Chains A and B, each alone.
Chain A
């Protein structure tokens, strides 16, 4: 093989590598779901790549148009940019609000006082 052959093959491999990285960035979270349980009962689930704002209150999830609609009761869950995060809650300890956003399968945000678990699967 000559120099140009090496260039050709290297170019092909590098091209495929770039495609693989792009694929991973674009689709690694595809199909992942965020689901919410209250007192061990699943109340809702949604695609992690579809942005939405949910108020979890009285064992159900209410879709909000924006954060300003949150009246301070229950937990405020925001799904945005492929991540889920609880940004406000009426629980006394606020541990759920302190927990970092989740995006990987098996990760959870837990609010013990409200018996709420937000997880990714």
Chain B
């Protein structure tokens, strides 16, 4: 205590200094222990043949997250093309013509799908189901359908045969089938965001495979969303985007594909040919507040290819409603083009 006695610093002052320093350091420690980059709570599952995760960066109760993931089950029963109990399955396997009674969710997605079909001049097409079902990119199939089968299926992909009014849905072609795979996940991601925000969540990330929706700005620092390097399984990223309160959607030919006789067959089919799109793009990432729109546009731009796709994205950046905010294109030479 000699030192203390020789100075004007009292015992009390020293103790206060120690307490203050301790409080400061403890605060830092707790903060780091909790992890600035780690969510406070999270939940995940496999739905729509996709890994779905919801991570909250605020004190959203676990029950709310459970409720949100429960919504996925509900939407799976509406939009699954393969689930025999789903609404889409019953539409595609309808026995007679006339009005088909559909849910509000289904009606909204079909209406949006038809609109995006016009917006992309048919590059995005929800009426492609008869062609889609000829291909198997999930199982051990690796079978390329023969030309005649695709040709016949293509005769039943005219989206103008689909219409809706107050009585229900009408499909003026008995063999036409819908495939909402290129748009439903975007719609569901938007609905999950709605569900969480209505339940008080202000900071969260929803991920449905290539569809990412961010709520809030992650305690002011923004969310880092990585754009994967195509065909790389090690998690290598070609680009990292810092975004807040918006959606980031990626479509890539590398997501599902098989190889046969030295040729790669990926899952993004060109509605004009019925075969995997002959594109010079490996992946398209679009940042847009409307995840459903971004979902449809990534598919369409991928089919368009790099040159036309870049011009098209610039046009969509001028949209009055939910314009494209940013895009990242990776071509087949792994060259990255960023459009801001």
Residues of chain A touching chain B, judged by Cβ–Cβ distance below 8 Å, are 1-2, 4-5, 8-9, 12-13, 16-17, 19-20, 23-24, 27-28, 37, 39-40, 92, 95, 98-100, 104-106, 108, 110, 112, 115, 117, 119, 121
Contacts and interface: CB of A to CB of B under 8 A. Distances in A.
Interface of B: 3, 6-9, 14, 17-18, 21-22, 25-26, 28-29, 32-33, 35, 37-42, 44-47, 49, 51, 53, 55, 140, 233-235
B21 A13 contact: yes
Given A1-B7, A20-B29, A104-B35, A119 B21 contact: no
**Which secondary structure dominates where chain A touches chain B?**
mixed
A105 B29 contact: no
A117 B18 CA distance: 46
Given A12-B18, A106-B55, A23 B29 contact: yes
Q: Main secondary structure on chain B at its contact with chain A? A: mixed
Contacts of A117: 44-46, 51
Contacts of B39: 105-106
B51 to A, nearest CB: 5
A17 B25 contact: yes
A51 B128 CA distance: 50
Given A12-B17, A98-B234, A1 B8 contact: yes
Contacts of B9: 1, 5
A95 B46 contact: no
Contact of B35 (A8, A16, A105): A105
Contacts of B38: 104-106
